[in-house]
Amino acid sequence: MNQVNSFTNRINKALGKKQLQNNFRSAMNYLMDKRLAKFPDYERLQISRHKSNTIRTNSVSNIKDLLILLEKNLVRNGIKVHWAENGNQANEIIQSILTKADAKKVVKGKSMVSEEIELNEYLIENGFEILETDLGEFLIQLSDDKPSHIVMPAIHKNKFEIARTFSDNFPDLKYTEDVDELTQQARLVLREKFSHADAGISGVNFAVAETGTLCLVENEGNGRMCTTVPDLHIAITGIEKVVEKLENIPPLFDILPKSATGQECTTYFNMISGPRKKDEKDGPSEVHLVLLDNGRSRVSRDNSINDILSCIRCGSCINHCPVYVKLGGHAYGTVYPGPVGIVFESLTQGLDKTGALTSACTMCGACEQVCPVKIPLPTLINRLRNESIEGVDSDSILGKGSLKMPIESGIWKVWRFIYSNPLVYLFFIRAMTRMRLLVPTKFGKWSKYRNTPKPSKRSIEEIARSEGFINE
């Protein structure tokens, strides 16, 4: 099945789930209200956005030098750095680090990059025990599901489903639908795992080049557990997460939680700059960072699209997207859903893989207005729409023209011919107005959700002339 059809199928499936749509609607309303309450002063918000945009744009435009500097300082601090061109390489690197350390039991903090490379599947296939420890991700893993949101992965589940998942997986625990009790049960199960894990894997929110520091943002404490309790810590991140200076961090950490969940700040901000020192008594004795490219370097080269690499993954564009709220995250069929997903996935994977997603946009512009780093998402989506129909492969965008349809381009060719030949045009307009009753009222799928255009009795020129306008 081609990508357009399979996307349409997923859309139809999603639109049939009314309960799910209601869940998303109320969750998104809640998140939008909470975010807005954190930005009472419009002008200050704009200044903060401008500052964050500058920091991230500077990082992306200097990405090469910054990555080299980051690597140098990480190595100086004793953190081992690995480079992976794609998911396969990243998975292999992580596997070999684990194997070398004889680590079998792995606990993992939330990381969208690890979803991107399907790390869990890979490690499980290779005989490792890998456990998600972020509560939302843990629930997703228990029910063999996929995240539907980048910040709140289990947002599509209600507590009844979650209660059932818990009782199916842990028959010894008391059945409960109480959120506090469920949370305490998860605590109990996972604490046991933290204390016995051989290795911890985490993502990274920001990597500071100047000091060689990995920053992690979280509320639960599972990220700290994963990066502190086991003797081995492996962090994985996309290469675009680098920022130059430590002083760049506060403005980003200020705007990220407010934009994401409407929080003043998260419970933990964890800055890791090295493995356990000789006299220290906890923390991993080995820390690794895997830098993943997976299409990002190609995107970085093109100044007209590399704004997407500024993204700090707050999910605000997703929360405000009128299409996402109707479809939910799974319909996109990609790791990153919503406006950021449309652009990021199409650019890193190629339009021939996910270009169909570019149609999932109403061009309302809400995403750009709320984006804390001011990524021009609608402009990029519109650009990619055009690129998916017209043009040929370029250096930076793959799969151009892959959604071109012979019928559609045929119709436009005829249209162009008519409109560029006055006599043919005249004849066409006459025919359309005089024989308008013969114009079909249904155009297959196209008119299913659209009003069919009806030619009027007289053409606009005729009306204008009769109203006394003189044709210059």
Partner 1 sequence: MNSSRENILNNLLEGSIESKQRKIVERDSDNPISNKKKIESLKNMLESVRAEVHLLSFNSLNEWINSELSKRNLNRVLIGSKATQKELDLKPSKSLDVSYYVNNIEDWKNELFNDIDVGITTTIGAIARTGSLVLWPNSEEPRLISLVPDVHIAIVKVDEIYETFSEIIQKQKWAENMPTNALLISGPSKTADIEQVLAYGVHGPKQLIVLIVS
Q: Decide: 389 and 402 in contact? Cβ < 8 Å.
A: no
Among 272, 343, 377, 389, binds partner 1 (CB under 8 A): 272
Residue 186 binds partner 1 (CB under 8 A): yes
- Do 277 and 223 form a contact (C-beta atoms < 8 A)? no
To 10 degrees, the CA torsion angle through 72, 74, 78, 81?
-90
Chosen residue from 70, 152, 289, 347 binding partner 1 by CB under 8 A: 152
Specify the residue, 61 or 169, whose C-beta has the smaller distance to partner 1. 61
Among 10, 105, 146, 245, binds partner 1 (CB under 8 A): 245
Residue 356 CA to residue 53 CA, distance in Å, equals: 28
x-or-dash string of contact with partner 1, 392-421, rule CB under 8 A: ------------------------------
Count of residues near partner 1 by CB under 8 A: 104
User: To the nearest whole angstrom, how small is the minimum distance from the Cβ of residue 325 to partner 1?
Assistant: 14
298 part of the interface to partner 1, by CB under 8 A: yes
> Shortest Cβ distance from residue 89 to partner 1 (Å)?
6
Contact 39, 175 (CB under 8 A): no
Please identify which residue in the block is written with the tokens 């985490």.
202
Q: What is the DSSP secondary-structure string of 268-329? A: EEEEE-SS--TT--SS-SEEEEEEE-TTHHHHHT-TTTGGGGG-----HHHHT-HHHHHH-S
204 lies in the binding site for partner 1 (CB under 8 A): no
Instruction: From 9-17, 146-154, 355-363, 464-472, give the range in contact with partner 1 by CB under 8 A.
Output: 146-154
Query: Over the Cα atoms of the chain, what is R_g?
Result: 26
67 scored as a contact of partner 1 (CB under 8 A): yes
Asked if 274 interacts with partner 1 (CB under 8 A), we say yes
Q: Which of 4, 15, 101, 246 binds partner 1 (CB under 8 A)?
A: 246
Residues 326-355 that bind partner 1 (CB under 8 A): none
Exactly one of 6, 158, 386, 447 binds partner 1 (CB under 8 A); that residue is: 158
Taking CA atoms, 317 is separated from 162, 376, 377, 447, in Å, by: 27, 11, 9, 30
Contact between 134 and partner 1 per CB under 8 A: yes
Pairing of strands 232-238, 199-202: parallel
Footprint (CB under 8 A) of partner 1, residues 247-266:
247-251, 253-254, 261, 264-266
Question: Which of 226/371 has CB closer to partner 1?
Answer: 226
Restricting to residues 82-111, which ones interact with partner 1 according to CB under 8 A? 82-85, 89, 93
**Helix locations, 16-111, DSSP H:** 18-38, 42-61, 63-77, 87-100
Query: Is position 359 an interface residue for partner 1 (rule: CB under 8 A)?
Result: no
Please, are residues 114 and 236 in contact by the beta-carbon 8 Å criterion? yes
Q: Which amino acid is at 51?
A: K
Closest Cα to residue 166, out of 187, 186, 191, 150? 186
From 1-9, 118-126, 153-161, 348-356, span contacting partner 1 (CB under 8 A): 153-161
| 72 binds partner 1, rule: CB under 8 A | no
Q: Does 64 bind partner 1 (CB under 8 A)?
A: yes
Non-local (6+) Cβ contacts of 214 within 8 A are: 79, 204, 206, 207, 208, 235, 237, 271, 272, 273, 289
The residue within the footprint of partner 1, chosen from 219, 379, 382, 433 (CB under 8 A), is 219
